[in-house]
Chains A and B, each alone.
Chain A
Amino acid sequence: MPSALPPYASTGQRTWYYTFRVICALIFFFLIFPILVIIPLSFNAQNFFTFTPEMLTLDPAGYSLKHYQDFFTNSDWQAAMRNSISIAPAATLLATTFGTVAAIGLSQSHMPFRSVVMAMLISPMIVPLIISAAGMYFFYSRIGLQGTYIGVVMAHAALGTPFVIITVTATLVGFDQSLVRAAANLGANPVTTFFRVQMPLILPGVISGALFAFITSFDEVVVVLFLGSASQKTLPWQMFTGLREQISPTILAVATLLVAISILLLTTLELLRRRSERLRGVTPG
């Protein structure tokens, strides 16, 4: 697909060029419309899931913040919010710490059995969630972790580590090992070398891995559905039961807030990407 029409293009080429653009626009519309449409709907003054006539005429009476108010005052939603906020950071911390350290070990040239170990550490990402959830439910109820905060955090950390390993090993490919040797040469011990030399350079990879781990835990619903008890009910779980049983428009308010969070995450990641490109000397367009 040429990016611009040459001046000598025939009528057929012109038609195809514009048809193709229209097709692409429609697909982009398909991608983005479902996400955008819930934002105005979440301000609906009625308990409907469709645009009321008042909304279509942009009558202020058709809009209200009552679904947001419900979210911030309803004890179920608030408890779910608290659980999500207490589970996701703990799982992220666990996944990022273990994952970063392991990624450094994995990228050393003398690591024995690398491919086997790598395959095992990546496996939580490949195994379908329902199977992980089933296995964890059976096993964790044997060892008494089913329905506990620690059990859910462990499970989410396990699901998040592959992302940390992948992003950090990718960053380490561009890391100059002679810097570590230089630091050691100048008398730094391994711990100082790690925190003062290696860590600042691979930080973008670690942060984006941590963001992936965070969103994995924050969005996760299948595993927590089986593994958690009522006191670990997270935001996605509450949304899931809400959608299955009594669909209330509060879900749309929550969804809008979650979209805002993902925009925030996306921006952070984009900035990190630009930074690492700049460091490598590649200028973004």
Chain B
Amino acid sequence: MSDTDQTMAVLTTQDGVPLKVSIRRALRAQKIRALLLVAPLFLFILLSFVAPIADMLFRSVENDIVPNTLPQTVVAIELWDENSGELPGEDVYAALAADLQVATKSKTHTRVGSRLNYEKPGTSSLFRKTGRRVNKFEDGNYKEQFLKADKKWGDVEYWQVIKRFSSPLTGGYFLAASDAERTADGVQLKAEDERIYLLLFGRTLMLSITITASCILLGYPIAWLLASLPLRSSNLLMILVLLPFWTSLLVRTSAWKVLLQQQGVINDTLVWLGIVGDESRLALINNQTGTIIAMTHILLPFMILPLFSVMKTISPTYMRAAKSMGATDWYAFWRVYFPQTIPGIGAGSILVFILSIGYYITPELVGGTSGIFISNRIAYHISSSLNWGLAAALGVMLLVLVMTLYWLYDRIVGIDNVKLG
């Protein structure tokens, strides 16, 4: 009796499988299908994009070149007290001689030298010079022979650097990227005139804020006009916003390069109008002015479009109601209309700020030396100074900054609200 009751209570499909099991099975099949559809792109992005970023994170702390090239020295120097002010013992010199003799065969000693040269200038030449002589060293009394090869081996500081960077992971690049150095008294900021990265980060932030502010200033009236005009004319005027948006970045940058030059169109016009003298042409390019003008122009559509989409949803009846109740035009705008557009200003500002903070091409071409961003320094370390670890550390710091802003954007606007075209 009770058996029949239970089978009655469980609903089954036609072939006798309980309904719940059947539904679960169907759902699982759907889940797997959805996953299989996403999988190819997931793997592709993992390999082509996420792995490179992870590699960069790793490279910013990687230091295995020192322990790999100088394995015996790293072990021997462990026991030396770097704060004693005395040179390491004979065993350390012997270990270094053995390591260098191996390293010179594969010519890796110069790479260790240039790695340590980032931390203490002079190390690169020291390793190169010693590398030429180390194979002629006789057994025993290594300390004397090293000092004879180069006096710098009698300087405690070089040994301190070797000891400090003997572990396979290092925070040294991050210290360098934030203008700090490790001294005998712990981590300290560098002398004021040597702080280039903090200065550059500060300038990047300042210029990005200025660009964002000019975008709000110029974008707000345009978005307001577009949102209040009838659809037909606003669609037409929208083309004037979308055409720059769709034009190649290089085209717009070259246009500004042409316009802003000393002998360019703007200066020519000003001279022709008699506003400035021929000998006092304005310096509009290769400085911060150039970067601000060109980047405001390039990023302005990114401010106008979100502002426009927010303003489009504000009903004109609110303004009319405020005015019918006696508000002046300004009061109605400031107390009724403007507060409703703040989400649009927020969305546009964060978007413009995020984009401008990582810009490289435009500052490089119109910024000269005073108008460049932190990105330009990263590019310099990758392609010119070849200090990849420092480039990676600077990149990671910029990435953290952008990710924080992006997280804010997601909280305020929501990533699903990103609209294109």
A123-B237 Cα distance, complex, nearest whole Å: 32
Chain B residues numbered 235-287 whose CB sits less than 8 Å from any CB in chain A: 235, 237, 239-244, 246-259, 261, 263-265, 268
How does the 8 Å CB contact mask read for B47-80 relative to A, with 1 for contact and 0 for none?
Answer: 0111111011001000000000000000000000
Q: Does A166 lie at the interface of the complex (its beta carbon under 8 Å from any beta carbon of B)? A: yes
A65-B386 Cα distance, complex, nearest whole Å: 43
| 19 A-B residue pairings within 8 Å (CB atoms) | A21-B225, A34-B297, A37-B265, A98-B41, A101-B38, A101-B40, A111-B31, A117-B38, A119-B415, A121-B38, A124-B49, A128-B358, A130-B358, A131-B53, A139-B55, A158-B49, A221-B249, A222-B361, A258-B248
Q: B56 near A131 (CB under 8 angstroms)?
A: yes
Residues of B within 8 A of A285 (CB): 230-232, 235
How does the 8 Å CB contact mask read for A151-164 relative to B, with 1 for contact and 0 for none?
Answer: 00011011001010
Instruction: Please provide the 9 A-B residue pairs with the shortest distance between their CB atoms, ordered closest to farther.
Output: A128-B358, A105-B37, A285-B231, A135-B52, A139-B52, A102-B41, A34-B255, A135-B56, A130-B375
- Greatest chain A CB density within 10 A among B48, B222, B237, B364 is at B48
A154-B138 Cα distance, complex, nearest whole Å: 54
Q: Does A134 lie at the interface of the complex (its beta carbon under 8 Å from any beta carbon of B)? A: yes
> Within the complex, what minimum Cβ distance (angstroms) separates B169 from chain A?
17
| Contacts A124-B45, A131-B358; A255 near B250 (Cβ below 8 A) | yes
What is the number of residues of chain B that contact chain A, defined by CB distance less than 8 Å? 93
How does the 8 Å CB contact mask read for B196-240 relative to A, with 1 for contact and 0 for none?
Answer: 000000000000000000000010011011001111100101011
Interface contacts (Cβ under 8 Å), in number, total 279
Chain B residues numbered 303-336 whose CB sits less than 8 Å from any CB in chain A: 316, 329
Interface of A, secondary structure class, is: helix
Q: Which of B155-163, B170-178, B394-402 contacts A (4 or more CB under 8 A)?
A: B394-402
Chain A residues numbered 84-135 whose CB sits less than 8 Å from any CB in chain B: 94, 98-99, 101-102, 104-106, 108, 110-112, 117-124, 126-135
Q: Does A280 lie at the interface of the complex (its beta carbon under 8 Å from any beta carbon of B)? A: no
How does the 8 Å CB contact mask read for A212-250 relative to B, with 1 for contact and 0 for none?
Answer: 100100110110001000000000100110011001000
| Contacts A24-B221, A37-B259, A139-B51; A240 near B250 (Cβ below 8 A) | yes
Q: Does A175 lie at the interface of the complex (its beta carbon under 8 Å from any beta carbon of B)? A: no
In the complex, besides A30-B218, A32-B244, 15 extra interface pairs with C-beta distance below 8 angstroms are: A1-B228, A3-B228, A24-B221, A31-B222, A48-B263, A51-B265, A51-B268, A102-B42, A105-B36, A130-B395, A166-B420, A240-B361, A243-B253, A244-B365, A263-B246
Residues of A within 8 A of B34 (CB): 105-106, 108, 110-112
| Contacts A134-B395, A161-B41, A285-B230; A258 near B247 (Cβ below 8 A) | yes
A69-B311 Cα distance, complex, nearest whole Å: 47
Looking at the complex, which one of A49, A161, A226, A263 makes contact with B258 (CB distance below 8 Å)? A49
Residues of A within 8 A of B230 (CB): 3, 285
> Within the complex, what minimum Cβ distance (angstroms) separates A233 from chain B?
13
Chain B residues numbered 169-191 whose CB sits less than 8 Å from any CB in chain A: none
| Contacts A28-B222, A128-B357, A285-B235; A37 near B388 (Cβ below 8 A) | no
Residues of A within 8 A of B40 (CB): 98, 101-102
| Contacts A111-B35, A130-B358; A243 near B254 (Cβ below 8 A) | yes
Looking at the complex, which one of A130, A142, A208 makes contact with B360 (CB distance below 8 Å)? A130
Q: A219 near B249 (CB under 8 angstroms)?
A: yes
Q: A135 near B229 (CB under 8 angstroms)?
A: no
Q: A32 near B240 (CB under 8 angstroms)?
A: yes
Q: Does B102 lie at the interface of the complex (its beta carbon under 8 Å from any beta carbon of A)? A: no
Closest to B36 in A: A105
Closest to B300 in A: A31
> Within the complex, what minimum Cβ distance (angstroms) separates B338 from chain A?
12
Q: A263 near B243 (CB under 8 angstroms)?
A: yes
A135-B378 Cα distance, complex, nearest whole Å: 11
Closest to A131 in B: B395
Q: A131 near B38 (CB under 8 angstroms)?
A: no
Q: Does B83 lie at the interface of the complex (its beta carbon under 8 Å from any beta carbon of A)? A: no
Q: Does A210 lie at the interface of the complex (its beta carbon under 8 Å from any beta carbon of B)? A: no
A155-B51 Cα distance, complex, nearest whole Å: 12
Q: Does A23 lie at the interface of the complex (its beta carbon under 8 Å from any beta carbon of B)? A: yes
Closest to A247 in B: B257
Looking at the complex, which one of A124, A161, A215, A266 makes contact with B239 (CB distance below 8 Å)? A266
Q: Does A18 lie at the interface of the complex (its beta carbon under 8 Å from any beta carbon of B)? A: no
Residues of B within 8 A of A99 (CB): 41
Q: Does A72 lie at the interface of the complex (its beta carbon under 8 Å from any beta carbon of B)? A: no
A166-B388 Cα distance, complex, nearest whole Å: 34
Q: Does A47 lie at the interface of the complex (its beta carbon under 8 Å from any beta carbon of B)? A: no
Residues of A within 8 A of B253 (CB): 243
Q: A102 near B261 (CB under 8 angstroms)?
A: no
Chain B residues numbered 326-363 whose CB sits less than 8 Å from any CB in chain A: 329, 354, 357-361
> Within the complex, what minimum Cβ distance (angstroms) separates A50 from chain B?
5
Q: Does B100 lie at the interface of the complex (its beta carbon under 8 Å from any beta carbon of A)? A: no
A252-B35 Cα distance, complex, nearest whole Å: 48
What is the number of residues of chain A that contact chain B, defined by CB distance less than 8 Å? 96
Residues of A within 8 A of B48 (CB): 136, 154-155, 157-158
Q: Does B421 lie at the interface of the complex (its beta carbon under 8 Å from any beta carbon of A)? A: yes
Q: B53 near A41 (CB under 8 angstroms)?
A: no
A37-B254 Cα distance, complex, nearest whole Å: 11
Q: Does A140 lie at the interface of the complex (its beta carbon under 8 Å from any beta carbon of B)? A: yes
Q: B360 near A236 (CB under 8 angstroms)?
A: no
Looking at the complex, which one of B225, B242, B383 makes contact with A24 (CB distance below 8 Å)? B225
Looking at the complex, which one of A24, A35, A51, A154 makes contact with B251 (CB distance below 8 Å)? A35
Q: Does A251 lie at the interface of the complex (its beta carbon under 8 Å from any beta carbon of B)? A: yes
Residues of A within 8 A of B53 (CB): 127, 131-132, 135
How does the 8 Å CB contact mask read for A166-187 relative to B, with 1 for contact and 0 for none?
Answer: 1100100000000000000000
A285-B234 Cα distance, complex, nearest whole Å: 10
Q: A244 near B255 (CB under 8 angstroms)?
A: no
Q: Does A199 lie at the interface of the complex (its beta carbon under 8 Å from any beta carbon of B)? A: no
Q: Does A273 lie at the interface of the complex (its beta carbon under 8 Å from any beta carbon of B)? A: yes
Looking at the complex, which one of A112, A222, A262 makes contact with B248 (CB distance below 8 Å)? A262
Looking at the complex, which one of B41, B221, B232 makes contact with A121 (CB distance below 8 Å)? B41
> Within the complex, what minimum Cβ distance (angstroms) separates A13 from chain B?
7
A244-B366 Cα distance, complex, nearest whole Å: 9
> Within the complex, what minimum Cβ distance (angstroms) separates A54 from chain B?
14
Residues of A within 8 A of B38 (CB): 101-102, 105-106, 111, 117, 121
Q: B375 near A137 (CB under 8 angstroms)?
A: no
Looking at the complex, which one of B56, B244, B257 makes contact with A35 (CB distance below 8 Å)? B244
